[in-house]
Amino acid sequence: MGLTVGLLYNLGKYDPPEEGEPPDIHAELDSEKTVLAIADALRWGGHEVIFIEADQNAYTTLRHSKIDVAFNVAEGLRGESRESHVPAVLELLGIPYTGSNVLSLAMSLDKPMAKRVFAYHRIPTAKFEVIELDQEPSRGNLRFPLFVKPAREGSSIGVSTSSVVTNARQLREQVGLIHRYYRQAALVEEFLDGREFTVGLMGNHDHHFFPITEINYDACPTGRAPVYDYEFKRDWDADHYYMMPAPLTEGERDRLCQLALAAFKAMQCADVGRVDIRLDRNGMPHVIEINPLPGLAPGFSDLPRMADAEGMSYNQLINGILDAALERNGILAPAMAQAAATA
């Protein structure tokens, strides 16, 4: 017998966009299909699964549940630190969980804060300004073209080809849109116009790097700004829109992996993560952002596709994440504990 694993998630369908909200506002929440696939994978690993919707009742449910460990994919329902709500409750109750902790999740969701941490660690990241809700757009010392996005979102929410702005009028419009639609500060960055990669990693020492993915902008219609946005992910999921593994020399590959690992460590992430990296016009890689709760939609999200590209099944990926968390917490799955005791 394996462990009893509490699977914590937020289902998208429970929270449709409210009136006046943009259609992608809940794009980060998981589908029922993904949650069931994760549960199946955990059962494949020999574990029992208890489903726990991470809503306002989660604390009471968790208090009375007898789970050994939580598998956390909950993106949170509301608030600036929503991704860290579940880990905070789990910590309060003394329940170990997969993935990054309260601080890492809160910092990485706040992109300007993550960029300040990167800068402290001398990890290259695009120059930026933050335009708060009550502030007038200004480009400060930044040079056009610029990229404008919400300061605290993921899953491409608030990102589109119009996020690239080349003059003061467009900048004003885009910042206004972020303020109005997403009711939060706008992050204005210098636009990195080179190749784009995403680097997935798993584990807490001797990290496992998945095959690096390159976004193949050459496959997109000519004239379309090179932005990996919601439209791209939704409409262009065929294989030729991605290069997996990316065509890189061994040296380039190592450089991107080391950069991703540096970002992972700087943010004190655990077990799993995905780091988005883009080259500037001089070919110098910069970290765009880190995703400590990477999407796990089978056959769709970047990480499961990367795992698949190297022959790692979805079941192995999910159990790899769980095993990293168990090892980090000094927990042996019962089968392993029995083997250790009789050795």
Selected from 25, 199, 227, 303, the binder of ligand ATP by CB under 6 A is 227
Task: Decide: is 271 part of the binding site for Mg ion (CB under 5 A).
Answer: no
Residues 179-198 binding ligand ATP (CB under 6 A) are: 189, 191-192, 196
- H helix runs in the chain, sequence order: 32-44, 58-64, 85-93, 102-109, 111-120, 168-182, 230-235, 250-266, 302-309, 314-328, 334-342
Taking the C-alpha atoms of residue 261 and residue 1, their distance in angstroms, rounded to an integer, is 35
Q: Which residues face 197 on adjacent strands?
A: 214, 277
3-state secondary structure of 286: strand
| Least Cβ distance, residue 326 to ligand ATP (angstroms) | 26
| Least Cβ distance, residue 77 to ligand ATP (angstroms) | 17
Picked from ligand ATP, Mg ion, none, the partner binding residue 192 (CB below 5 to 8 A depending on kind) is ligand ATP
Q: In this chain, which stretch among 9-17, 137-145, 229-237, 275-283 interacts with Mg ion, using CB under 5 A?
A: 275-283
Q: Which residues face 146 on adjacent strands?
A: 165, 190
Taking the C-alpha atoms of residue 184 and residue 18, their distance in angstroms, rounded to an integer, is 17
Taking the C-alpha atoms of residue 153 and residue 239, their distance in angstroms, rounded to an integer, is 26
By CB under 6 A, how many residues form the interface with ligand ATP? 20
x/- map, 92-131, ligand ATP, by CB under 6 A: ----------------------------------x-----
Task: Decide: is 278 part of the binding site for ligand ATP (CB under 6 A).
Answer: yes
Instruction: Name which of 288, 216, 285, 277 is nearest 246 in CA terms.
Output: 216
Assign 3-class secondary structure to 103-149: HHHHHHHCHHHHHHHHHHCCCCCCCEEEECCCCCCCCCCCCCCEEEE
| Least Cβ distance, residue 109 to ligand ATP (angstroms) | 9
Q: In this chain, which stretch among 5-13, 167-175, 233-241, 274-282 interacts with Mg ion, using CB under 5 A?
A: 274-282
Taking the C-alpha atoms of residue 63 and residue 67, their distance in angstroms, rounded to an integer, is 10
Q: Which is nearer to ligand ATP, 191 or 242 (CB)?
A: 191
Picked from Mg ion, ligand ATP, none, the partner binding residue 101 (CB below 5 to 8 A depending on kind) is none
- Is 70 within 8 Å of 63 (Cβ atoms)? no
Q: Which is nearer to ligand ATP, 63 or 183 (CB)?
A: 183
Task: Decide: is 276 part of the binding site for ligand ATP (CB under 6 A).
Answer: yes
Q: Which residues contact 177 (CB under 8 A, 6 or more apart)?
A: 158
Q: Which residues face 198 on adjacent strands?
A: 213, 276
| Least Cβ distance, residue 249 to Mg ion (angstroms) | 24
Picked from Mg ion, ligand ATP, none, the partner binding residue 232 (CB below 5 to 8 A depending on kind) is none
| Least Cβ distance, residue 60 to Mg ion (angstroms) | 34
Picked from Mg ion, ligand ATP, none, the partner binding residue 68 (CB below 5 to 8 A depending on kind) is none
Picked from Mg ion, ligand ATP, none, the partner binding residue 34 (CB below 5 to 8 A depending on kind) is none
Taking the C-alpha atoms of residue 290 and residue 273, their distance in angstroms, rounded to an integer, is 7
Strands 69-72 and 4-9: parallel
Q: Which is nearer to ligand ATP, 62 or 146 (CB)?
A: 146
- Interface ranges with Mg ion (CB under 5 A): 276
Contacting residues toward ligand ATP, per CB under 6 A: 126, 147, 149, 153-157, 159, 189, 191-192, 196, 227-228, 276, 278, 288-289, 291
